Chain A
Amino acid sequence: MTTRLGWIEKWTLRFAVVGLLFLALSGFEGILLRIQQHDLKILQPMEEVLNSIRPVADKPSSAELYYSMMTAHPIVGIYGFAYLCVFGAFYFLVPFLLKKEIRHKKLVSANFWLQIAGVLICWTSGFFGLFNALYTLYWPLPVSYEQGVPLLGSIFFSVGAAIIMVNILLFSYNIFSTVLSKSNPRSYSYWQFLRSALGISRLMKWLGKEDKNAPNLDYNGLSPFVVAVARGSIDTVINAVVLLTAGGLILVYGLAKLFNVVLPPGAVDALAYKNWFWWGLDMVADGNVLIYTAGVWYLLIPLLVGRKLFGESVVRTVIMVDLLVSLGVWSHHLLADRTQPLVMRLLSGQFVTWGEFFTMGLTLFASLMTIWLARPVKLTAPLKFVLGSMFGFMMGGAAGLIQANVGLNVVFHNTQWVIALHAHTFLLTGLATLLFAVIYALVPMLTKLEIRSQRLVNLHLWLWLAGCVLMTYVMGRAGSLGMLRRTLYETPNQFQPYTLVAIIGSLLIALGFVAFLVNLVSTLGWTNVLSLVVPDRWLEKRKAAAEA
C-alpha cells in the first residue's frame, strides 16, 4: 500500500532510514571487533582482501586495523545512528507539538547531508587512512606522528569530526529558533532563554529579586518534551563547540606537519586537555542523552497510556537540575588520574555524578507512576520498547555509579565493565531501544500505516534485549575479573570463554535488528521506501506508465 507522505514526514523517515543503516554498519563493526577480541588472527583472510584496496604502502598489522575500526565504530553508532534518528524525530515532533513549522526548512536537508558526509569522512579516515587514536583522542596521541599515527588519517578524521560538530550546531540553531520564535505563547531572546533554562530566573525569584519580565521556561505553556529538547540542546551545543576546538587543535598540528612545520605536542598540557575534552564529551554521555530520553518518555508515555504525566511540575524541575548536573560531572572520567585534584575527583567525579541518580530516579518514578495509574494499559509496540529502554537506563546507570566512585574506580577504570556493562547497556539497551520505540510510535503517525507484524515486534524486543544483556553482562563480569577494554590479549587467555558468549549475544542483537528491518520494510512497502530516495516525479511517471 502506498501512502502520500508530507515534506517533513518524508525527511523524518529519511533520517530514520539512514540512521538505521549506520546502526547496521556500527553493529557489523561491533561483531567483527568482538570476534577479533576473541582471536585476533581469525579475520586475517578478510583483512588480506581489504588490504588490497587500501592505498597504503606497508601492509597494516591486525592490531592497527582493529584499533582503526574501534576508532570509527562509536562515531558511526552515535553520530551516524543516534544523532540522525534524533534529528529526524525532533524535526517532526517539535513543530508538531508547537503547532508551527520548522523555522529554517533548508537546514533540514543540509543537516541530513552534512551529517552523512561527516560520519563517512571519519569512517573513511579509519578504513582507508587507518587513523587509530580512538574517540577519546587523549593528547598528544592523535598528533604523535612519530609513533605511527597516520598523518592523512588524522587530518581527514578532524575534518569529518568538524563537519559533524558544525552540523550539530546548525541543527541546534534551527531547533532553538523554532522553539523561541515569536509565535510561542511568549517569545524569548536567546539570553532570556539561557537564564531561564539554567534556572537563574527561578533562583532570582527565590532570592526575592524576581524579574517580572523574564519569561519562565517551565510554566509558559511548553510541553515537558519541548522543555527537555530546549534544555538538552544546550548540552548539545557545548558538546559540539568543545569537540570542535579539540578537532581544530588536531587539525592545526596535522596541517603544520604536512607542511613540515614541527609544533611541540608538549605545548598543550595533557591533563588540561583531558579535562576540557571530557567536559565537552560528557555533555552527550551524561547530558543530552539523559535529558532527551527523559523528554521522550514524558511525551510518549502519556500518549501511549492515555493519561496525563504524573508529577509534571516536578519533572520540569528535574530537567533543569539534569542540565546543571551535566555541567559538572566530567571528572568521573579522570578518577584514575592521580594528578587531578582529589577535591575534583570527589566532588565532580563522585558526588555530582550521583545527581544523575536523583534526576534519573525521579524521571523513572514519574514515568512508571504514569503507566501504573493508567492501568489497564495495552502493551503496544512502542510501550514495550519504552519499558525496555527504562530497564537499560537503570542497569547502565547502576553500573556507571559503581565505576564513578573514587574507591572502586581503582579496579574498574578502563576495564570491560566500563565499556560493556555501563556504556553499551546505556547505548544499546537504553538509547537504541528508546529510538526503536520512537520509530514504532512515529511510523503510524507519519504514514497512517499500522506496524505489520506484532510477532516480529516481539521477536525484535526479546532478541534485542536478551542479546544486549548477555553481551554486556558477560563482558562486565570479565571486566570485574581484570579484563581491560582497548586491549588485545594473546591467545589463549582466560577471558576467551567470556568473549565467546559475548559474540553469541551480539549475534542475537543482530537477529533482533533483522526482525525489525523486515517488519519495517513490509509495513512501509518498497514503494514508500523507494519514495524516500527517488524524486516524486519519477514515481509518478512510473505509476502513470503502469496505469497505461
Chain B
Amino acid sequence: MSYLSTLSPAYAEIFLLVMACTILIVDLFVVNQKKTLTYLLVQLTLVGLASITVLTHQAGVVHLFNNMFVDDMMSDVLKVLSYIAVAMILVYSRTYLLVRGLFTGEFMVLTLFALLGMMVMISASHFLSMYIGLELMSLSLYAMVALQRDSAIATEAAMKYFILGALASGLLLYGMSMLYGATGTLDVAAVSAAINHGVANPALLTFGLVFVVAGLAFKLGAVPFHMWVPDVYHGAPTAVVMLIGSAPKLAAFAFVMRMLVDGLQPLMSHWSMMLVILAVMSMALGNISAIAQTNFKRMLAYSSIAHVGFFLLGVLSGGIDGYGAAMFYIVIYVFMSLGAFGMITLLSREGYEADTLDAFKGLNQRSPWLAFMMLLLMFSMAGVPPTVGFYAKFSVLQAIVNTGHIELAIIAVLFSLIGAYYYLRIIKLMYFDAPESHEPIRMQADSSLLISINGLAVLALGIMPGWLMTVCAAAVQKSLLLH
C-alpha cells in the first residue's frame, strides 16, 4: 500500500495506460458505426485524468523511478492543458471523421497513446524517459497521419513524416549519447552538475549539444529543419493535423525546458546563439512563405513555423521572464491553432475539405457568428490587441528587450508585421468578398458551442490576461533548476 501511494505523482499516466488498453478491447465489441460508447469513454478518461492530476498535485518537486520521472507545477499545468486540448480535438473532429469513415476505435486509442507519450515527455527528467515519451508520441502520430489509407497525399505525408521524424530521433539520440559520453550520466540534473564541475570534454559536449538542438528543431519544425511541416499539414486529415499542431507543442516545450535549461543550462551561451539563428530564420521563412499559400492548412503550417520562431525567442531570453513568456506563448498558440483547425472541420462536409482559402469567402454572409469567431482567432494569431495573441507576443518581446537585444525585438516585430498580412487576408475573404456557395453550414451543437467558447476565450483572455501569465511564470519558477 505504501509503495502504491508513493506512485501518486504517476497515477495519471498509469490510469491512462489502463484506460487506453481497456478502450482498445471494449471498442471491439462496439458495433455502433458512430462509436458513441468509445467516444464517451475517451472523454470520461480525459475528465478522470484531469481530476487525478489536480487531486494528486503537490507543492514542490517530486522525483520518482530513480529520477526518471518528475512531478512539479509545470508538468501538472502542461498535462491539464494537454487533456483540454485533446478533448477539444475530439469534439471538433468527431463529425469530420464520422463523415469520412475514419472515426474508428484505432483513431481514439492512438490519440490516447500519443497523449501518454506527451505526458511522459512532460514529466521526463532523464534522457531515456524523454526519448521513450517522444517516440511513443511520434509513432502514434505517424500511424494517424496514414489513417486515410486510400489517399495518396495522406500516405505521402505519412512517409515524409515518418522518415524525417526518424531521422530527427536519430539525431537526438546521437546527441544524447555524446552527452552521455562526456558526462557519464543520463540524468538531466546530473548532466548539469557534471558540466558545472568542468570534468566533461568540451568538444564532445558541443557536438552533443549541436545534435540535440538539431533534433529538437526538427521536432518543433524550426527552419532549416521545417521541410516536413507544410507537407504533413497539407496531406494529413484535418483532425490529425489538429492533433499534430497543438498538444505536442506543449510537450515539446517541457522537453526543451528539461533538456536545455535543467540539463544544459551551463552551455546556455552556446545554445542561445543557435536558437537566435533558428528563431530569426523561422520567423522570416514562415511569415514570408505563408503569404504565397492558397491552401489554408499549408498557410497554417508556415504560420506555425513562424510562431515557433517567436517561441524560441522567449526561450533564448532565459530567466523566469523568458521561460515564462515562452510557456505563455506556446499555450496561447496551441489554443488559437485548435480554433483555426476547428473552423476547417466545421466548414467541411462530406466530399469537401474546406481547406482552401476560398472556403472562407463571404463567411460573414453565411454565418456572421462563425466569421466573428474566426476574426478573433486571426487577429489573435496576428497579435493585434485586444486579443490574447498580442500579450503572448508582448511578453516574449518584453523578455527579449530585458536581455538587451533590442535588435532582435525589432526583427521580430517587423516579421510579425509581414505575418499580419496573411491573417488579414482571411478576414478580407470572410468580410469583404461574396460567398462562392450558399450551402448552409451544418454544425453540431457541441462543436459550434466549442468554437464559440474558443473564440470568446481569445477575447476574454485578451482583456484579462494577467492570471495566465502569473500561472506560467509560477510554473516555470517552481519547477526549473535555475542557476
Q: Is B one of A's binding partners?
A: no
A residues contacting B by CB (< 8 A) are none
